[in-house]
Structure 1
Amino acid sequence: MNALAATSRNFKQAAKLLGLDSKLEKSLLIPFREIKVECTIPKDDGTLASYVGFRVQHDNARGPMKGGIRYHHEVDPDEVNALAQLMTWKTAVANIPYGGAKGGIGCSPGELSISELERLTRVFTQKIHDLIGIHTDVPAPDMGTNSQTMAWILDEYSKFHGYSPAVVTGKPVDLGGSLGRDAATGRGVLFATEALLAEHGKGIAGQRFVIQILFDFFPKKPNDDPCMLCLAFQGFGNVGSWAAQLISEAGGKVIAISDVTGAVKNSNGLDITKLMKHSSENRGIKGFDGGDAIDPRSLLTEECDVLIPAALGGVINKDNANDIKAKYIIEAANHPTDPEADEILSKKGVLILPDILANSGGVTVSYFEWVQNIQGFMWDEEKVNTELKTYMTRGFRDVKEMCRSHHCDLRMGAFTLGVNRVARATVLRGWEA
């Protein structure tokens, strides 16, 4: 089942639990707008290359549409539609005044130079600038993009509309980005995990964690510019690596980690500081001598207390679900668990904290960044982190309340919460059956 079918299935189950009118249900499912553009750029060798860019604006009942832009060779309309829909429910679960959107370009960023990535980003922005905006649709980084990408979008958009720092979030701090934004999704994962474990009388300390992270983008010409190389590397594996560092600092024992270069395990706990230093210097964790190399394909089935998939979607499926030994799964990636795997894991008693709650720390701090830009007032990092914990803890509490009300699991609790809030906003704004 692809991501769009799976997401729509979860939505329909939530709509049924809520008893939504069938016409309202259909209205909430159909995207507000779908955009597809051709982006042709000159390559460094003088040849021309064309790429297809997408932006799906799913819903704006609760506020401006919000969602990342990813650069990945597997970007397609179904994936972008699914992720845009997930953003609608995610922002509602977080209870921030946004709707949902998502964008992407079908390309392999690791095969492009920094200058080619800049040209591609600027052409894409030229094609969609009149359809995004501070109070319309606010992009952010996603897989294959980062703060530098957002800086290029901001600059290109500002050529048409005047300087507009609030048009994107996840920007460099020097251009109005928020302190704490780099770590936000990973820190949100920590707070969400703390809330889930506390429900069962446990804490982070002493728990064994297995984390799947994502480092999949390296510039084609790594010697072009050391400063630009640093910017290009930041953010890839960001969610999982920050979660690993913060969990380790909180006393959790991270016993295994994988990325696209390999996997490493140490039953006594990995030294995360040394591992991340090695990963940064060697463009991946392969070769790290602080543990034993293992087959990355076996990572998800390692024995542990908490499994955190923080890479691609669909990695937990019916083929491996029966072999998963974790007691808890925290979905730091978008849609990492297929519906078939969901059913298998539920029967096994595995508790899954769904993505639309678990990884909402990034969009929450993006909201804080947007607020700071509009106000023209910068928060200190302590305020950002304190507010983030408040939002994540409240989000978990609200999801649990929906679970009790509708006698459902955490995933359906999160979906019913998000769908209900969007449905109420839609009706209050004047929707007619």
Structure 2
Amino acid sequence: LAMWMTWKCALVNIPYGGAKGGVVVDPRQLSMGELERLTRRYASELVPLVDPKTDIPAPDMGTNQQVMAWFMDTYSMQVGYSVPAIVTGKPVGLGGSVGRTEATGRGVIVCMEATLAKGGNYDPADVKVIIQGFGNVGSNAAQYAAERGFTVVGVSDVYGGIYNPNGLDIAEVQAAVDRDGSVVHYLDADRVSNSELLTLPCDVLIPAALEGQLTEFNAPDIQARIIIEGANGPTTPEADDILNDRGIFVVPDILANAGGVLVSYFEWVQDLQAFFWSREEVFEKLERILTDAYDRTYECAQQKNLHMRTAAQVTAIGRVSETIILRGIYP
């Protein structure tokens, strides 16, 4: 994951490297007090290792704005002054950026639209989309896809999936989640398993749950013509070969879900300058930078006859390599 983050940041051309860390625990099994104490203890142990110029933690699975607020407060209390730029994904009232919560899911749809545009004119209503996962990434991707006029026909969460070939009312799906805790409580759809959902008819499949979901066992049965990787590492190498052989167009995770780290970068920049942008400014910058990264990756793929995943790696590694060569060796 740390390596992938390095390539992801290089691909969208922001001045970050890559790192990953966490605590092995299911936050759903903890009380709010237990979660706060765990977060603050973890943050206090990291104080000597992080600061706004070397390592800036950001939210990922199992975390939210409150967790990031506790981390920021713990670090600030330890050093003796407020340091909003120490983490991203904070509440707006503590120096967070508007649009950060939606950023990864929104970026996934930006990449989907860029992919579809390469094929010529299209009507969004004719594009059927399945999204595996209805957490932060999946739910925001579904909502933005619906806003843009696409037909979302299937979604899922840890409790199972739902599918309606005529389309889902995403606002009602979200209401079912808010009210009853799962997408499976949405009534106007067929219940399916998570594994079934991946192989149902659609134009675009967005795996936005856990890694390793597309495998050599289900890749031969996937009916989508485009896959946009919302999660980190959802496709195994064996599955990737099968999908490529079948001519399925895959937009890799280090490009497709880079919207999150982009807006984390925006938040960090805003914190350092203590001047904050509007939601429109954040989303305009997100779409412009991510679309440019997509176009550069696509151009590399076309020129070198590569699949998008390899083209993304070539582009990212090339940028890192160039900076290492330019800096030379010290002393």
State TM-score, norm by structure 2. 0.97
1:431: Cα distance to partner? 3.6
Q: For residues 328-377 of structure 1, give each alpha carbon's deviation from its aligned partner in whole angstroms, at most 9, with x where no partner exists.
A: 00000000000100000111110000000000001001111111000100
Residue of structure 1 equivalent to 2:113: 194
Distance in 2 between the 1:325 and 1:190 partners? 19
Q: For residues 184-231 of structure 1, give each alpha carbon's deviation from its aligned partner in whole angstroms, at most 9, with x where no partner exists.
A: 1111111111111101114434200000114xxxxxxxxxxxxxxxxx
Distance in 2 between the 1:289 and 1:308 partners? 22
1:275·1:290 contact (CA, 8 Å) conserved in 2?
no
The more displaced of 185-194 and 352-361 is 185-194
1:404: Cα distance to partner? 3.1
Residue of structure 1 equivalent to 2:54: 136
1:308: Cα distance to partner? 0.2
2:106·2:144 contact (CA, 8 Å) conserved in 1?
yes
Residue of structure 2 equivalent to 1:93: 11
Q: What is the DSSP-based 3-state SS (H/G/I as helix, E as strand, rest coil) of the residue aligned with 1:420?
A: helix
Residue of structure 1 equivalent to 2:140: 242
Residue of structure 2 equivalent to 1:414: 312
Pick aligned residue for 2:255 from 357, 361, 366 = 357
1:365·1:384 contact (CA, 8 Å) conserved in 2?
yes
For 1:9-408, list aligned pairs within 5 A.
Answer: 83-161=1-79, 162-203=81-122, 204-214=124-134, 237-408=135-306
Distance in 2 between the 1:431 and 1:391 partners? 31
Distance in 1 between the 2:157 and 2:105 partners? 16
Q: For residues 290-317 of structure 1, give each alpha carbon's deviation from its aligned partner in whole angstroms, at most 9, with x where no partner exists.
A: 2111222200001110000000000000
Q: What is the DSSP-based 3-state SS (H/G/I as helix, E as strand, rest coil) of the residue aligned with 1:210?
A: strand
Structure 1, unmatched stretches of 5+, are 1-82, 215-236
1:313·1:336 contact (CA, 8 Å) conserved in 2?
yes
Distance in 2 between the 1:362 and 1:191 partners? 12
Q: What is the DSSP-based 3-state SS (H/G/I as helix, E as strand, rest coil) of the residue aligned with 1:179?
A: coil
Give the percent of matched residue pairs that are identical in Structure 1 and Structure 2. Answer: 48
Distance in 1 between the 2:9 and 2:194 partners? 32
Q: What is the DSSP-based 3-state SS (H/G/I as helix, E as strand, rest coil) of the residue aligned with 2:166?
A: coil
Distance in 2 between the 1:154 and 1:415 partners? 33
AA matched with 2:276: M
2:131·2:156 contact (CA, 8 Å) conserved in 1?
yes
1:424: Cα distance to partner? 1.0
CA RMSD of aligned residues (A): 1.1
2:177·2:185 contact (CA, 8 Å) conserved in 1?
no
Q: For residues 242-296 of structure 1, give each alpha carbon's deviation from its aligned partner in whole angstroms, at most 9, with x where no partner exists.
A: 1111111111111111111121111110000000011111111122112111222
Q: For residues 357-410 of structure 1, give each alpha carbon's deviation from its aligned partner in whole angstroms, at most 9, with x where no partner exists.
A: 000001001111111000100100000011111011101011112213432110
AA matched with 1:92: A
Q: What is the DSSP-based 3-state SS (H/G/I as helix, E as strand, rest coil) of the residue aligned with 1:263?
A: strand
User: May I ask how many residue pairs the two structures share in their alignment?
Assistant: 328
AA matched with 1:404: Q
Q: What is the DSSP-based 3-state SS (H/G/I as helix, E as strand, rest coil) of the residue aligned with 1:137?
A: coil
1:89·1:418 contact (CA, 8 Å) conserved in 2?
yes
